[in-house]
Amino acid sequence: MIEGDDWSVEHRFLMAVWEKCSGEAAGAKVEFGIAFVDTSIGNFYLGHFEDDRYRSRFSTLLTRYNPVEIISAKRSVSSDTIQVWNTSCPAALHEHVSPNADCWDSGKTLRLLAEGDYFKVNDELDWPEGIRPLLDDGSTLGLTAKEDCELAVRALGALVWYLKQCQLDQELLSRRCFQIYEPIDQDKPEETEKNPFGSHMVLDGMTLRNLDVLINSSLGTVHGSLLERLNRCSTAFGQRMMRHWLCAPLVKPEAINDRLDAVEHLRNDITIVDDISKILKTLPDLERLVNSQK
Give yes or no for a contact between 71 and 17, defined as CB atoms under 8 angstroms apart: yes
For residue 34, what are the β-bridge partners?
17, 47
Domains of the chain: 13-180 (3.30.420.110), 190-292 (1.10.1420.10)
Residue 149's alpha-carbon distances to 18, 64, 104, in angstroms, are: 11, 22, 14
Q: Give the other-Cβ count within 10 Å of 143's Cβ.
A: 19
For helices 56-65 and 79-88, angle between their N-to-C axes, nearest 10 degrees: 30
Nearest to 112, CA basis, from 63, 153, 51: 153
CA dist 141 and 160 (Å) reads 21
At residue 63, the 3 state secondary structure works out as helix
Instruction: Provide the CB-side half-sphere exposure for 36 (13 A, CA).
Output: 28
CA dist 293 and 43 (Å) reads 13
- Please give the average pLDDT of every successive group of 10 residues along the chain, which has 294 residues: 44 90 71 92 93 91 91 86 89 82 82 92 90 86 88 94 91 92 70 55 83 83 88 84 86 91 89 87 70 54
pLDDT of residue 163: 93
pLDDT of residue 193: 46
pLDDT of residue 260: 93
At residue 51, the 3 state secondary structure works out as strand
For residue 31, what are the β-bridge partners?
20, 50
Longest CA–CA span in the chain (Å) reads 62
pLDDT of residue 101: 63
pLDDT of residue 24: 62
Query: CA 21: distance to chain centroid?
Result: 22
* Residues near 165 by beta carbon (within 8 Å), at least 6 away in sequence: none
**Which of the 8 DSSP states describes residue 135?**
B
Query: CA 66: distance to chain centroid?
Result: 9
Q: Give the other-Cβ count within 10 Å of 199's Cβ.
A: 14
pTM summary value: 0.75
pLDDT digits (tens, 9 = 90+) for 115-160: 999 999 888 899 999 999 999 988 766 789 999 999 999 999 999 9
